[in-house]
């Protein structure tokens, strides 16, 4: 993966959500937000599952345990809508993990 240049990340502050609230920005890159139509209780449970799985990845000493924990991370992220099939239904493509300046969000991203 090519390094992100300083000029490509000038614009929006990290963690700023896009106007359509599909992504947030970190170092100029778009990351998909959770599905806003999830029930609050389900969202909280899935975030808790994600955090527990993330800690398990760091604490595992066995490679099989680590793989299982990473699969739990992936399952939680997919259930939250942060990975896998997009949660919006208007047919717009997914720009997850793309540099904002290389997407239709470029003009928004570079606005002051």
Per-residue pLDDT of the chain (112 residues; tens, 9 = 90+): 445 444 445 667 788 999 999 999 999 999 999 999 999 999 999 999 999 999 999 999 999 999 999 999 999 999 999 999 999 999 999 999 999 999 999 999 998 5
Answer yes or no: are the C-beta atoms of 30 and 102 closer than 8 Å.
no
- Is 41 found in the same domain as 13? no
- Is 68 found in the same domain as 48? yes
* Distances in whole angstroms, Cα of residue 58 to Cα of each of 53, 69, 74, 83: 9, 9, 15, 21
pTM of the prediction? 0.83
Write out the residue range of the structural domain in which residue 69 sits. Answer: 37-81
Domain count for the chain: 2
CA distance 83 to 30: 13
**Residue 68, domain member (yes or no):** yes
């Amino acid at each position: 993966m090519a390094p992100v240049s300083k000029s490509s990340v000038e614009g929006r502050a990290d963690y700023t959500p896009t106007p359509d609230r599909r992504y947030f920005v970190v170092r100029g890159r778009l990351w998909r937000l959770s599905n806003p139509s999830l029930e609050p209780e389900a969202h909280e449970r899935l975030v808790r599952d994600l955090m527990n799985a993330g800690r398990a990845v760091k604490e595992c000493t066995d490679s099989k345990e680590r793989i299982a924990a990473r699969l739990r991370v992936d399952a939680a992220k997919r259930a939250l809508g942060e990975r896998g099939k997009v949660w919006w239904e208007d047919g717009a493509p997914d720009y997850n993990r793309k540099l904002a300046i290389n997407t239709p969000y470029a003009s928004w991203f570079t606005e002051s």
